[in-house]
Amino acid sequence: MTRDPITSLLAAALLLGVTLTAGLCYWYLHLTAQNQEAQREIARINANRALMQPLVADCVEYARKHTNFIPVLQSLGLRLRAETNAPSQK
């Protein structure tokens, strides 16, 4: 029994198509999982930022009354609002 060459060609094309589809499905699922993990990380970062903002505001207010605390804020990369809005004097 001989096979028709077109039948073998179609079977090979079908096998290639199924393999590529499975690979793309795996790739999509992998990227979707990475995206969800990134979204969870961003939500965690935003929650931490929301918790830290009142603390930073209190530290800045404390530094306005106690000027010896200003270097601590500057070492953390925080500045008083009046310092950031003041024109530079050269």
Q: Note the Cα 74 to chain centre separation in Å.
A: 27
In the chain, domain spans: 7-85
pLDDT of residue 50: 96
Q: List the chain residues with pLDDT less than 70.
A: 1-2, 80-90
DSSP H helices in the chain: 5-65, 70-75, 81-85
pLDDT of residue 15: 97
pLDDT of residue 67: 87
- What are the residues whose beta carbons fall under 8 Å from the beta carbon of 7, sequence distance 6 or more? none
Residue 83: exposure state from Cβ atoms within 10 A (0-12, 13-18, ≥19): exposed
Tell if the pTM clears 0.85, that is, is over it: no
pLDDT of residue 77: 86
